[in-house]
């Protein structure tokens, strides 16, 4: 048992942020080094001339204590003056709010990207203003925004499907154009290779962890690391805790159950990703099924009600694999 494990986390936005708060707290308790958090950039988009990185910002704002906990997204105490002006011009998307403080982030990011910084370097700069207590990396420096292909053949950006249509239009597939030529961001493969444990956070398996795992080289890095790979179920009692991950899962033919999601990631021994899988107590009856798939089940409370509860989840994962 190592009291200073090197931890790598794969994460999406709001669920990923809640989990990452727990990772930071659990590692601080152990006096362990900062975790490396690899975040989904499939949600990213260009809007009104600025680059948005919703999942990056959800994690940055949460770790910096700047997030709006009431609303669940964006900056605490934000206003919408610029947004109203953009709408008056007919610019942007009328159904997509850009807060004033949030726009400050997007402008800073876009300026740095225009200056030639990579997304990795931009996140590095953001982490200088607000020490995050983790080493945050994008999954890739290449733009590969998620596109939803609808059953009627139409294609739209993930954010339009998710935010405007609330995932109500039947999806046939999720694609990340350009991802075939992408590579993991600098430091990602090295962190996975040097890790003592890799944690797949309870993020949306399809549109948050899906794009991360689709980056060429990512699965190979996970397959070849000597670190155990432990996943956390985003499903509790057969339901998604928040959001519309069930619609995404159905589109790729995966049932909304903690066991089916484990099977979707697959057992490492069978060429999949997982050594172990955290199941909620409500889903304890699924443990034998998960074990039968060659994945070690660990039954523990999975409600991320606050950072302490998330830290307990992380402790359960680390204890289970002896790091
Ligand atoms: P997004 O990018 O903002 O959609 O956030 P993520 O993809 O990182 O996380 C969304 C997922 O987190 C949803 O599918 C939820 O089921 C899951 N989730 C949210 N809260 C909890 C929780 O308290 N416990 C668990 N186990 N999963 C949660
Ligand atoms: Ca997201």
Residue 1 has pLDDT above 80, yes or no: no
Mean pLDDT of 214-227: 98
Q: Indicate which ligand has the atom closest to the C-alpha of 21.
A: 1
Which of 9, 63, 163, 203 for a ligand 1 pocket mutation test, highest count of atoms within 8 Å of Cβ?
Answer: 203
Q: Indicate which ligand has the atom closest to the C-alpha of 14.
A: 1
Query: Tokens standing for 323?
Result: 């790091």
Mean pLDDT of 217-225: 98
Mean pLDDT of 206-211: 98
Residue 239 CB less than 6 A away from ligand 1: no
| pLDDT category of residue 2 using cuts at 50, 70 and 90 | low
For the CA of 304, the nearest atom of ligand 1:
23
Mean pLDDT of 111-125: 98
What's the chain's average pLDDT? 97
Q: What is the pLDDT, as a whole number, of residue 242?
A: 86
CB 58 within 8 A of CB 13: yes
CA of 166 to the centre of ligand 1 (A): 16
Residue 106 has pLDDT above 90, yes or no: yes
Q: Which residues pair with 197 in a beta bridge?
A: 7
Mean pLDDT of 212-225: 98
Output the pTM of the full model.
0.98
120-168, pLDDT tens digit by residue?
999 999 999 999 999 999 999 999 999 999 999 999 999 999 999 999 9
For the CA of 16, the nearest atom of ligand 1:
8
Q: What is the pLDDT, as a whole number, of residue 141?
A: 98
Which of 9, 11, 12, 15 for a ligand 1 pocket mutation test, highest count of atoms within 8 Å of Cβ?
Answer: 15
243-296, pLDDT tens digit by residue?
899 999 999 999 999 999 999 999 999 999 999 999 999 999 999 999 999 999
CA of 126 to the centre of ligand 2 (A): 19
Domains of the chain: 7-144+177-320 (3.40.50.10680)
Mean pLDDT of 203-216: 98
Residue 279 CB less than 6 A away from ligand 1: no
Mean pLDDT of 208-232: 98
Q: What is the pLDDT, as a whole number, of residue 170?
A: 96
Residue 242 CB less than 6 A away from ligand 1: yes
Residue 205 CB less than 6 A away from ligand 1: no
For the CA of 243, the nearest atom of ligand 1:
13
CA of 36 to the centre of ligand 2 (A): 18
CA of 106 to the centre of ligand 2 (A): 16
Residue 83 has pLDDT above 80, yes or no: yes
Residue 3 has pLDDT above 80, yes or no: no
* Alpha-carbon gap, residue 248 to 250, rounded angstroms: 6
Which of 242, 280, 284 for a ligand 1 pocket mutation test, highest count of atoms within 8 Å of Cβ?
Answer: 242
Residue 306 has pLDDT above 80, yes or no: yes
Q: What is the pLDDT, as a whole number, of residue 243?
A: 87
Q: What is the pLDDT, as a whole number, of residue 143?
A: 98
3-state secondary structure the chain: CCCCCCEEEEECCHHHHHHHHHHHHHHHHHCCCCCEEEECCCCCEEECCEEECHHHHHHHHHHCCCECCCCCCCECCCCCHHHHHHHHHCCCCCCCCCCHHHHHHHHHHHHHHHCCCCHHHHHHHHHHHCCCCCEEEECECCCCCCEEEECCCCEEEHHHHHHHCCCCCCEEEEECCCHHHCCECCCHHHHHHCCCEEEECCCCCCCCHHHHHHCCCHHHHHHHCCCCEEEECCEECCEECCCCHHHHHHHCCCCCCHHHHHHHHCEHHHCCCECEEEECHHHHHHHHHHHHCCCEEEECCCCCCCHHHHHHHHHHHHHHCCC
Ion ligand 2 — residues with CB < 5 Å: 12-13, 43, 55
174-199, pLDDT tens digit by residue?
999 999 999 999 999 999 999 999 99
């Amino acid at each position: 048992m190592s009291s200073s494990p090197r931890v790598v986390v794969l994460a999406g936005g709001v669920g990923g942020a809640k989990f990452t708060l727990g990772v930071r707290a659990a590692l601080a308790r152990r006096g362990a080094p900062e975790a490396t958090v690899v975040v989904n950039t499939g949600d990213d988009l260009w809007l009104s001339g600025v680059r948005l990185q919703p999942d990056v910002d959800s994690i940055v704002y949460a770790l910096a204590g700047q997030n709006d906990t009431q609303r669940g997204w964006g900056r605490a105490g934000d206003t919408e003056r610029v947004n109203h002006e953009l709408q008056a011009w007919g610019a942007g998307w009328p159904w997509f709010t850009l807060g004033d403080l949030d726009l400050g982030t997007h402008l800073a990011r876009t300026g740095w990207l225009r200056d030639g910084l990579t997304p990795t370097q931009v996140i590095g700069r953001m982490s200088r203003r607000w020490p995050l207590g983790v080493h945050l990396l994008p999954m890739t420096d290449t733009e590969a925004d998620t596109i939803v292909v609808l059953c009627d053949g139409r294609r739209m950006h993930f954010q339009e499907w998710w935010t405007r249509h609330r995932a109500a239009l039947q999806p046939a597939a999720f694609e990340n154009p350009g991802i075939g030529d992408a590579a993991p961001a600098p430091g990602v493969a090295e962190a996975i290779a040097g890790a003592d444990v890799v944690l797949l956070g309870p993020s949306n398996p399809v549109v948050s962890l899906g794009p991360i795992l689709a980056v060429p080289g990512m699965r190979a890095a996970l397959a070849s690391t000597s670190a155990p790979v432990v996943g956390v179920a985003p499903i509790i009692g057969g339901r998604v805790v928040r959001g519309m991950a069930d619609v995404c899962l159905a589109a790729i033919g995966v049932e909304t159950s903690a066991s089916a999601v484990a099977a979707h990631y697959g057992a490492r021994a069978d060429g999949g990703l997982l050594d172990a899988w955290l199941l909620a107590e409500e889903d304890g009856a699924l443990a034998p099924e998960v074990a039968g798939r060659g994945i070690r089940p660990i039954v523990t409370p999975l409600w991320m009600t606050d950072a302490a509860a998330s830290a307990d989840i992380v402790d359960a994962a680390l204890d289970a694999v002896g790091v």
